[in-house]
Structure 1
Amino acid sequence: MTSTLSEETSTTREVGELLANWPYPPPGGWTADDLDRLPQEGPHGEPDFFKHVELVDGALIFMSPQKRFHEHVLYGLRTCLNAQAPKQLKAVTQMDVVLGPRQRPCPDVLIIDSEVARDRSRTAYLPQEVHLVVEVISPESELRDREVKPRRYAAAGIQHFWLVENNADEPVVYVYELDPVNQSYVVTGIHHGRLKLADPFPIDIDLSELPD
């Protein structure tokens, strides 16, 4: 992993020090910057051990292998969103967002500024660069996706949030918008079959015919 966020400032810690007492966290816990310094291999040489990991409330979360439904929805939404987005916005998948020193989740789909998307060295984005986060529910991530992550995204000021549920292998999209007074999300619609919205830009997606 490579560091990308010049705005982030913290004391650099050696990887060997961080992993010295694995699986216990290092003194002071894990930080968002630590993820850019973790090796791909595990503490005992396990290949790709840290390849898919995110940081939520200071804890490292290892992501399970994707089911086909998950991959299908990610690819389909990214493809459709990029086909309909204005030129100043770009949809990307599974890129981190640094919400704070101990918060670096990895949403399934993001809408970000096209200008920052052109920087191919980035490993993460900041909340002010993100216009929409999408989480697709997996069995092992239900609590994080439904309760923990939405609160963190809202507190960081990200305007739009979608939660995608699996209903008999068909996606159902719950659409939320930020209430600026309470800094929390309010549901604005539940979409079966067709997703038609005006914000964050005009969107019209046939959920039953996502690109594959």
Structure 2
Amino acid sequence: MSIEPKASERAWPMPPEGGYSADDLDRLPNLPPHTELIDGSLVFVSPQTMFHTRTIDFFNWQLQSLAPSQFEVVREFTIDIDRQNRPEPDVVVVREDVVEGPDQTRFPAEAVILAIEVVSPDSVSRDRETKHLKYAHARIPHYWRVEDENGKAVVHAFELEPTTGAYVSVGIFRERMKVDAPFTADLDLTAIKARRDRTA
């Protein structure tokens, strides 16, 4: 006598009518790490490349050492833009007064000073177009998009133009990034390497 296999249980949650809300990210069980909410839809990220990981590490540590005391620098942490959008920048600079404690899972967008996205092969359109517009709409003053150009980091830096509410480019940086906003920074981008130099 053969036994028919049981239908496999659905592995992914069924979205509610109207899409998920920002609060759902804290309630849904077993979501993969770094799940984002974009336009009411869950976005899962692919495994990170070494370039992506080392670039996040670089900006996280460099900006922590440079940021004035009224700011906090945090990696891979979601921000509330509106009910249907809770993206997770790779690095975010926020006002220190919104950092509450170890159980906190998100920051309000109005407290974000700088959002940094490191572009991955699966996030090109999200980082260049979708998030660019959403961060501007949320009036985040500064947005940096970091791209891999043959293994070297290239930073596209944008600042919010207050009259139009749109981002304007303040520079494309290779090898060295020197800016005075949102605070003074002089960064050696050549330090971002997918492989560590080994000496004999």
Per the TM superposition, whether the score is higher than 0.5 is: yes
Unaligned runs of 5+ in 1: 1-19, 41-48
Residue 18 of structure 2: which of 28, 39, 50 is its match? 28
Matched, 1:89 2:71: yes
Deviation for aligned residue 1:111: 0.4
> Per-residue deviation at 1:39?
1.2
Aligned length: 186
Shift of 1:206: 0.4
Per the normalisation by structure 2, the TM-score is 0.87
1:169 match: 151
Q: Which runs of 5+ in 2 are unaligned?
A: 1-9
1:65-76 matches, within 5 Å, as 65-76=47-58
Residues 150-161 of structure 1: pairs in structure 2 closer than 5 A: 150-161=132-143
Q: RMSD over aligned Cα, in angstroms?
A: 1.9
CA distance 1:210–1:140, shift in 2 (3 Å): closer
Contact 1:39 / 1:50 at 8 angstroms: preserved in 2? no
1:18-42 CA-to-partner distances (Å, cap 9, x unmatched) read xx895541122111010010112xx
- Distance in 2 (alpha carbons) for counterparts of 1:73 and 1:21: 32
- How far does residue 179 in structure 1 lie from its aligned partner after superposition? 1.1
1:1-212 → structure 2 map (5 Å cutoff):
22-40=12-30, 49-117=31-99, 119-210=101-192
- Identity, in percent, stands at 40
Q: What's the CA shift for 1:119?
A: 2.1
| Match of residue 13 from structure 1 | none
The SS at the match of 2:85 is coil
Instruction: Give the superposition deviation at 1:118.
Output: 5.2
